[in-house]
């Protein structure tokens, strides 16, 4: 089914482009193609598919109709050329890096990254000869200063998790463009409803679909979207030149699908693609409610003397407020961090909450709470922890879809119980 590229609003396009009824059966909802491999009537027919002379599915590690449907819809959400889905957000990031960089190459990354990405860049990739240079994520000039001949990608998150800082994506993209380097943006925390990084100059957009895209805490997944801007015959990426001759602007997508993801094996399971696709349909209304609720909660916490500091990009005193307002259209997401007196108070506060669940996820329908320093940031060295904005007295909330009055009541009683 072709994508609607009309002037309809994104909310309408999401529903309209979900799935066409199957012409044979009339099946209207998305179907789940729980299949390992695809049979062909003759050896010749299968050879044609392998040779790329005929379209068709072969094996679900390489391609699967349910996964392809999810990829098509994610590409549409990001206004991209196409997408390649992966087993998780981390699989999407590692697959994208492997597609762009090799031994001796460098990544430039903003210093306020999700802990898993930080670990990949500092622990795992160096063993394969890929090094990362970190810069102050909100200083575009810092990226410019350290671009070298070996730089293969600039990596940044739309809102740093959990630091909640807001990099100037357009200015960083200008640096990337000037040097012919690929700009990769992790849009997990904002989603395409708040930000389409392509419009700010990003070349690739990455999602952990496990978060808001899924929205119901029941499937892990990730995706790489090629925005269709970058010229894959560029001099920094000679390994893609043959692919560019064969596939033109689809070069990177073909390379990911037919080589890198195929070889590394981090494919998305069809059942997870099915669940993630269902999540997309309600994403727009969920994001509306997440943002409204988070704003209410942030203002309540900011006015409370029991809380030392509240960080939320929607608050006027947040350093990135104006940047967020410009880049995200006046909405600021669901993540809030607060600082209490010390770790002990944080634990008492978390243990005292009745509605918020204490778990390592974000973007779920329910409100979630976590103490980053003792959980997903515990492996980071002290300097790295400071760079990602994590201290022992910090709590992160991911505000859900409950009634905001009830959330505030719950937070209030948990703060009361701290002392």
CA distance 359 to 362: 9
Contact call for residues 152 and 132 (beta carbons, < 8 A):
no
266 binds ligand PLP (CB under 6 A): no
Size, binding site for ligand PLP by CB under 6 A: 17
Scanning 208-216, 270-278, 288-296, 397-405 for contacts with ligand PLP by CB under 6 A, the matching segment is 208-216
Site map (CB under 6 A) of ligand PLP, residues 178-197, x = contact = --------x-xx--------
Q: Which positions from 148 to 177 touch ligand PLP by CB under 6 A, shown as an x/- string?
A: ---------x---x----------------
State which of positions 73-92 bind ligand PLP (CB under 6 A). 88-90
Helix, coil or strand: residue 275: helix
Between 114 and 243, name the residue whose CB sits nearer to ligand PLP. Answer: 114
Q: Which stretch binds ligand PLP (CB under 6 A): 66-74, 112-120, 126-134, 194-202?
A: 112-120
Q: Which of 209, 214, 239, 247 is nearest to 225 (CA)?
A: 209
Binds ligand PLP by CB under 6 A, chosen from 222, 270, 314, 333 = 222
CA distances (Å), origin 207, targets 55, 74, 197, 210, 217 = 27, 9, 12, 8, 15
Instruction: Give the contacts of 118 (CB within 8 A, at least 6 positions apart).
Output: 380, 384, 388
Q: How many whole angstroms separate alpha carbon 213 and alpha carbon 292?
A: 18
* 211 touching ligand PLP, by CB under 6 A: yes
**Integer angstrom CA distances of residue 419 from 7, 295, 308, 344, 371:** 55, 26, 14, 11, 18
Phi, psi dihedral angles at 136 (to 5 degrees): -60, 115
Contact 261, 366 (CB under 8 A): no
- When the beta carbons of 222 and 389 are compared against ligand PLP, the nearer one is 222
Q: Which of 116, 217, 366, 404 contacts ligand PLP by CB under 6 A?
A: 116
State yes or no: residue 71 binds ligand PLP (CB under 6 A): no
Which residues contact ligand PLP (rule: CB under 6 A)?
Answer: 88-90, 114, 116-117, 157, 161, 186, 188-189, 208, 210-211, 220, 222, 362
């Amino acid at each position: 089914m072709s994508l609607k590229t009309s002037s309809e609003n994104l909310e309408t396009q999401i529903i309209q482009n979900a799935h066409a009824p199957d012409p044979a059966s009339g099946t209207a909802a998305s179907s789940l193609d729980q299949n390992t491999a695809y049979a062909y009537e003759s050896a010749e027919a299968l050879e044609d598919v392998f040779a790329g002379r005929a379209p068709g599915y072969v094996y679900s590690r390489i391609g699967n109709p349910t996964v392809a449907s999810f990829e098509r819809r994610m590409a549409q959400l990001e206004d991209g050329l196409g997408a390649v889905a992966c087993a998780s957000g981390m699989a999407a990031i590692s697959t994208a890096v492997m597609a762009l960089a090799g031994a001796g190459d460098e990544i430039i990354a903003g210093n306020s990254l999700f802990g898993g990405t930080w670990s990949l860049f500092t622990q795992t990739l160096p063993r394969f000869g890929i090094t990362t240079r970190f810069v102050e994520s909100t200083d575009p000039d810092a990226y410019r200063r350290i671009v070298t001949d070996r730089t293969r990608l600039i990596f940044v998150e739309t809102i740093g998790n959990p630091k909640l800082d807001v990099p100037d994506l357009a200015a960083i993209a200008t640096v990337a463009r000037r040097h012919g380097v690929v700009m990769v943006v992790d849009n997990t925390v904002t989603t395409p409803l708040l930000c389409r990084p392509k419009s700010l100059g990003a070349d690739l957009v990455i999602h952990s679909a496990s978060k808001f895209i899924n929205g119901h805490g029941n499937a892990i997944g990730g995706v790489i979207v090629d925005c269709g801007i970058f010229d894959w015959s560029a001099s920094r990426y000679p390994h893609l030149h043959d692919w560019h001759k064969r596939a033109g602007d689809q070069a990177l997508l073909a390379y990911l699908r037919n080589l890198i993801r195929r070889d590394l094996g981090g494919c998305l399971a069809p059942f997870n693609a099915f669940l993630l696709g269902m999540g997309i349909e309600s994403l727009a209304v969920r994001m509306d409610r997440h943002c409204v609720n988070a704003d209410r909660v942030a203002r309540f916490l900011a006015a409370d003397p029991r809380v030392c500091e509240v960080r939320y990009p929607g608050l006027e005193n947040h350093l990135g407020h104006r940047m967020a307002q410009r880049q995200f259209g006046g909405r600021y997401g669901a993540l809030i961090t607060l600082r209490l007196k010390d770790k002990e108070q944080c634990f008492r506060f978390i243990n005292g909450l009745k509605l918020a669940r204490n778990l390592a996820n974000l973007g779920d329908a329910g409100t979630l709470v976590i103490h980053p320093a003792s959980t997903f940031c515990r492996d980071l060295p002290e300097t790295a922890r400071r760079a990602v904005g994590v201290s022992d007295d910090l709590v992160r909330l991911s505000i859900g879809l409950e009634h905001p009055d009830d959330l505030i009541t719950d937070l209030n009683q948990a703060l009361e119980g701290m002392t």
